[in-house]
Structure 1
Amino acid sequence: MSETLSPSSPGPGAIPRLMRLAFHTGFLLLLGIATARVFLTHAAGPTSWLAVAMAVLLTAVYAAGAVVRHALHRRWLAMTWLAAVTAVWAGLLVISPDFSWLAFPLFFLHLHLLRGRHALVAVVVVTTLVVTAQRWHAGAWSVGMVLGPVIGAGVAVVITWGYAAIYAESQRRQALIDDLTRTREQLASTQHQAGVAAERERLAREIHDTLAQGLSSIVLLLRAAESALPAEADKARARIAEAQRTAADNLDEARRFVRDLRPPSLTGAGLPQALRRLCEDTARESGIDCRFQTDGVPVELPSGYEVALLRAAQASLGNVVRHARARTTVVTLGLLDTEVTLDIYDDGVGFDPAAARPAADGSGYGLTALRERIGALGGRLTVETTPGDGTAVAIRLPLTDEEIR
């Protein structure tokens, strides 16, 4: 049987291969038995050879449909094939009533390939042909020649409709399972993100309440000790000053780490407000004309996105202030349907990206670290610059319903 079914019937591939193989085998087996009976009944006469020839033709037409079943997705071609199979079978029915046995598999073919009322009309026509042929060959009516085809047609219709109902129910169950699977994955992702955020908050509190506070106390104690030393204790004063500097440096590192975990500029405000304040601070402190603009409808982004984009803007503007010698820089936040973008452009001196290398003192890794940070979120960072022609840093992060909260 062809796998090309109507939109209201089971689709391609739904019927297991064993069922298709059984159907094809049954069709050809019934055709072979009927042909053999005709051949033996007519003692190899012209009628028997005509039946054999038409049986071979029916086999060829039927097999052609099975071989090129993918081409039968074109409805006109499928209807042509079905009409050819039915017409050759009708010719065999004229030769002998034994070929009435093929009506049962033909019922299924019509029910699968035709739609709604057309399928039922085809079943009625096939049943009528069988009853008429048997009456014509027998020369008289009997209850069996009517009840047999009618019952066979009814069974075929009930089986087909039952299978369609079972298949539709299995499709609904599969859709429900897919929805549950997606919901479970989304829940797991949400729980993971919540766990990461909670751990970041915990680390920020721990560092602020223990390490940072302890270092701050050390700095204060060292300052008090330095002021209490007698004037001649130069060596002790030098050691205390060195310890004070070390503690102060580590305190700055602790505070920077806390800021990285939980940016204060994002507390109580969204990313656009934080970026706008950053531009205002940059303009005020450096004298550069720093402008901020947005494109698109503002949406609430995940905290990971907001932190990454804010850090990217801070790092990029820091490079502009330190290296670009620019007069103007523009920060643009874009909120599109499928992605969030951040572009930082300056009209400074630019640089040669191929010649940019980390310095010996450990600086110069900011761009690499920033690219890794954006890449971890599934985004990408590109830098377009040439010496004397300014610099443009472009960041793209994917934005789907799972990222928008």
Structure 2
Amino acid sequence: MNDSVPAAPPAASSLRLVRYALHGAFYALLAVALAPAVLGPDGRAALLPGTLLGLAYGAGALRARRAARARTGLWLAVLTALWLAGLLLDRGFSYVAFPLFFLHLHLLPVRRSLPAVAAITGAVVAAQAAGPGGLTAAKVIGPVAGAAVAILTAYGYAALYRESSRRQRLIDDLVRTRDELAAAQREAGRLAERQRLAREIHDTLAQGLSSIVLLARAAETADPDAPEAVRARVREIGRTASDNLAEARRFVHALTPPALDDAPLPEALRRVTARTVPGAAFRLDGDPCPLPVDTEVALLRLTQEALANVARHARAEHAAVTLTYLGDQVALDVYDDGVGFAPAAGSASAAAGRRTFGLHGMRERIADLGGTLTVESAPGEGTAVAAVIPLGAAGARGGDPRPRASASPQAEGVHP
């Protein structure tokens, strides 16, 4: 059993219900004990200690969770003394012994709570024995059985609390381990992809550029009286540059998400919306036009991240994705009417932390394209994520629009 009442139980609502039930039982049994004094002339002397007992219990119960252990022990001693005074004046106070059992068992360590329960049980037996009929087996069995029930209940509660706390710790460890494993896997994937691209660039583009440099130097040192040799060098430079341009486009195509391989951006966003948040709406405004690859990838990734947050955290009834072509810029809006969060809270909670971390990365990606990303949300008010990318800036930073299947790399190569 715990030495004292836990300060932060895992199931706060259930424990509050238990405390309220204990408070209600105390006052109900105290009312039963004081009923003869209130309704008739018998037991009027017990009215004063009974009233003081009720007031002391109420005052202490309001401060018990914030009080120090020494002050809690003093409060419990005062309650016990007032109860004994009432018991000496009226045997009806024997009913109040049952909630006192629980108070001693929960607020005192085991080495003190069990002797206190035994003493209270003895006082009840003595008070009952002093009444009509003297000491009988029923007057002993009743209080002892009540004490035994209280002890077993308190021990059972303590065991359930320890088990609940242990399970909560295990759940927290599992969640933390899962997040660490996911982060490690993402980092390993990034490193592997970086190494793969480094090898590819070294074996193709870097070698091709080195060849171009060597051919250019050879052309510079060629005999000016042999123009055919110079033209041959220049043609070789053109072929090498064309081959490297094709390799560069192959890299860009390999980095393009599969969702954009066989569909334009609006259709890809429509599919992602329907797949990630069933029932979410997708709207297209304006006339679609070809966008640079980086811009399309950024808008697709932003939609995936925002909709994943909606599915995991928002508990929304409605969500909508809007892609708008505005001539000189493209805008993307993702809205949901869910529980929302506080964007400025940072790491105030784990969930909010995971949500803002992903959006922070997307904000940097959009900023690299010359655009802006705005997140508007508040607890209970839903969330709106809006990105705007100027097409001029996107074209300058993101390269030429995505080549179509009919485009020929050789046709756009460098020729003399």
TM-score in terms of structure 1 length: 0.53
Is 2:68 aligned against 1:69?
no
The residue identity in structure 2 corresponding to 1:19 is V
Aligned match of 1:31: 30
Is 2:41 aligned against 1:44?
yes
Following superposition of structure 1 onto structure 2, how do residues 375-394 of structure 1 map, counting pairs within 5 Å?
none
Q: Deviations over 1:262-307 (max 9, x none)?
A: xxxxxxxxxxxxxxxxxxxxxxxxxxxxxxxxxxxxxxxxxxxxxx
Aligned match of 1:189: 183
Aligned match of 2:411: none
The residue identity in structure 2 corresponding to 1:64 is A
How many corresponding residue pairs? 240
For residue 83 of structure 1, the aligned residue among 61, 65, 77 is 77
Aligned match of 1:143: 137
Aligned match of 2:17: 18
Is 2:194 aligned against 1:200?
yes
Q: Deviations over 1:142-197 (max 9, x none)?
A: 11110000000001111111111111111111111111112111111111111111
Aligned match of 2:49: 54
User: SS at the partner of 2:41?
Assistant: coil
Aligned match of 1:128: 122
User: SS at the partner of 1:85?
Assistant: helix
Distance (Å, rounded) in 2 between the aligned partners of 1:8 and 1:172: 17
Tell me how far 1:105 sits from its aligned partner.
0.6
- Alignment gaps of 5+ in structure 1: 1-5, 255-368, 370-405
- Alignment gaps of 5+ in structure 2: 249-367, 369-416
The residue identity in structure 1 corresponding to 2:180 is Q
Following superposition of structure 1 onto structure 2, how do residues 164-179 of structure 1 map, counting pairs within 5 Å?
164-179=158-173
Following superposition of structure 1 onto structure 2, how do residues 165-314 of structure 1 map, counting pairs within 5 Å?
165-231=159-225
Distance (Å, rounded) in 2 between the aligned partners of 1:173 and 1:182: 14
Distance (Å, rounded) in 2 between the aligned partners of 1:8 and 1:178: 25
Tell me how far 1:209 sits from its aligned partner.
0.9
Distance (Å, rounded) in 2 between the aligned partners of 1:169 and 1:36: 41
* Identical positions, percent: 50
8 Å contact kept, 1:130–1:149: yes
Distance (Å, rounded) in 2 between the aligned partners of 1:51 and 1:13: 38
Higher relative contact order (CA 8 A, sep 6+): 2
Tell me how far 1:7 sits from its aligned partner.
4.8
Q: Deviations over 1:362-390 (max 9, x none)?
A: xxxxxxx9xxxxxxxxxxxxxxxxxxxxx
User: SS at the partner of 2:3?
Assistant: coil
Distance (Å, rounded) in 2 between the aligned partners of 1:71 and 1:195: 50
The structure-2 alpha-carbon separation of the partners of 1:13 and 1:212, relative to structure 1 and needing over 3 Å to count, comes to closer
The residue identity in structure 2 corresponding to 1:180 is L
The structure-2 alpha-carbon separation of the partners of 1:80 and 1:112, relative to structure 1 and needing over 3 Å to count, comes to same
The residue identity in structure 2 corresponding to 1:62 is Y
